Amino acid sequence: MAADGPLERDPATPASVAGLSKPAPGSTWSDLETTHLIDAYEEKWNSSKRGPLRAQQWEDVAVEVAGRCGLTRPSKSGTQCRHKIEKLRKRYRSERLRPVRSLWPFFERIDRMERGPLPISGRLPPPAPASSSSCSDFKPHLSNKRSVNGILGEAGLRGSARVSRNVRPRKRQVEEEDEEDDDEENEEEADEGSDVGRGGLTELAAELRRFGEGYVRMERKRIEMMREKEREWMEMESRRLEMVMEAQRGLVETIAGAFWKKAKNSDDL
């Protein structure tokens, strides 16, 4: 008996000799089988330098697909694998002509297969390390620049020292005059500030006074309105009591009249 597991056979041995049944023609392809077919074909195609495969190579692709799917025997023949690859490529070419991005699930996979692996020449070379000669050329320029800057700096310091000695007395005089002017301006600003402060307090007091008077007027008006409402309520209450007493008086008179008529009728009998 044949052992279970991935199918392996001699390429020179035909399928009938190996005891394999021929796959049924026209059987459908599942997504898993299609994916394994693309992978197996790409490997075989690249190993043959991306040339057309022979019939025996297609049979090997069918065996590889069955092994990747966990089958003990191929479910598709080599011819069926070749026809499926041709259909996939035809669908890929039609999907590429669409104006929008293709939603076909195998588009990206077929596209990578058709483009092939990225050649080594297409990769970016690593950056070259800096040579010692360039560093040595840079150092003298840097040292010369520093020396020139030092000379210019020292000359500038000497010139500024001479100018500062000549300008210092005049500068001190100007500063003293500026200080006197600043003192006078500060005194004037203080006087103006005090006047402004007194004026602000006066306006604030006037505003508080107007606010207080307005509040008193509103409070008086509110009290008058409350008194008016209370007076109206008392008048309504007195009228209500008069109406109740009038109704009671009428009721008593009606009852008394009824009794008087009844007594009179009894006397007549």
pLDDT per position as a tens digit, 131-165: 444 444 444 444 454 554 555 455 555 555 554 55
Q: Mind listing the pLDDT tens digit for each residue in 65-124?
A: 999 999 989 999 999 999 999 999 999 999 999 999 889 999 999 999 998 776 554 444
* Mean pLDDT along residues 172-180: 59
Give the whole-angstrom CA distance, residue 127 versus residue 118.
20
Q: Mind listing the pLDDT tens digit for each residue in 21-76?
A: 455 555 789 999 999 999 999 999 999 999 999 999 999 999 999 999 999 899 99
Give pLDDT, residue 94. Answer: 94
DSSP summary character for residue 100: S
**Cα angle value 111/116/119 (rounded, 5°):** 140
- Report the C-alpha dihedral over residues 235, 240, 242, 244, rounded to 10 degrees: -170
Burial (CB count within 10 angstroms: exposed 0-12, middle 13-18, buried 19+), residue 39: middle
- Region of 50 please: left (phi>0), alpha (psi -120 to 50) or beta: left
Burial (CB count within 10 angstroms: exposed 0-12, middle 13-18, buried 19+), residue 251: exposed
Is residue 81 a contact partner of residue 61, using CB atoms and an 8 Å limit? yes
**Cα angle value 63/3/53 (rounded, 5°):** 15
**268 vs 147 pLDDT, higher one:** 268
Of the candidates 1, 121, 19, the one whose C-alpha atom is nearest the C-alpha of residue 10 is 19
Of the candidates 97, 118, 116, 93, the one whose C-alpha atom is nearest the C-alpha of residue 106 is 93
Q: Name 116's Cβ contacts closer than 8 Å, sequence gap at least 6.
A: 46, 50
Question: Which residue's entry shows tokens 């197996």?
Answer: 40
> Which amino acid is residue 196, in one-letter code?
V
* Mean pLDDT along residues 197-207: 82
SS3 label, residue 90:
helix
| E strand or H helix that includes residue 199 | helix 132-268
Give the whole-angstrom CA distance, residue 53 versus residue 46.
10
**Cα angle value 196/198/202 (rounded, 5°):** 115
